[in-house]
Amino acid sequence: MEIQIRHLEATDSQDIFDIYRRPSVSENTSQKPYLSSDQVGRLFGHSDHFTLVAEASDKVVGHITLFMTTKVRDRHCAGLGIAIHPDVHGKGVGKALMQEAINQADNWLNLVRLELEVHADNHAAIALYERVGFQLEGTKRLSTFKAGKYIDMLLMSRIRPDYR
């Protein structure tokens, strides 16, 4: 499968909506299930976000967003969110998006710290984050509600290697 990474465009909203309407995707986000297409569109309408998409066969199959802050003292940091269509799990889409987001963060956006939260039971995502250089910082115990119970969230971060 050939993957093209590019910046998000307004015409991508239906493909992004299709990703988020999948239960296996929405259950691993902090969003409520069954978001409308308008709600999904609003998630990406912020000028302080930097979003890349992965396209395969003329269809967006994943996205990654760096959530930039306007706080003066924190401008070297960005949060990270990623979602991949279940049909392409395990095919390198997540890794390609992570690598390009890290490249942009390190070489163009002047970011030092990338951080994310991940459900403690999302082992595939945790393994991917570790492979691209993220490290565990801590556990937020029983901090989110999923499938009828409270579960832990893991805090992970990556510091740009040349910074230290």
- Structural domains in the chain, CATH included, are 4-163 (3.40.630.30)
Q: Using only C-alpha atoms, what is the Rg of the chain?
A: 15
Share of the chain above pLDDT 90, in %: 73
Buried b (16+ CB within 10 A) or exposed e, 18-41: bbbeeeebbebbebeeebeeeebb
pLDDT for 43: 66
What confidence tier does 112 reach under pLDDT thresholds 50, 70, 90?
A: very high
Q: Is the pLDDT of residue 33 over 80?
A: no
> pTM of the predicted model, to two decimals?
0.91
Q: What is the spatial distance between Cα 55 and Cα 74, in angstroms, rounded to a whole number? A: 31
Where is pLDDT greater, at 20 or 142? 142
Give the pLDDT confidence score for residue 106 in this predicted structure. 97
Q: What SS3 state is found at 123?
A: helix
How far, in Å, CA of 106 to CA of 37, rounded? 32
pLDDT of residue 28 exceeding 90, the answer is no
Q: For residue range 54-108, list pLDDT tens digits in order.
A: 999 999 999 999 999 889 999 999 999 999 999 999 999 999 999 999 999 999 9
Interior angle at CA 135, CA 60 and CA 52, nearest 5: 20
- Closest C-alpha to 49, from 64, 75, 67, 62: 67
What does the pLDDT read at residue 25?
A: 86
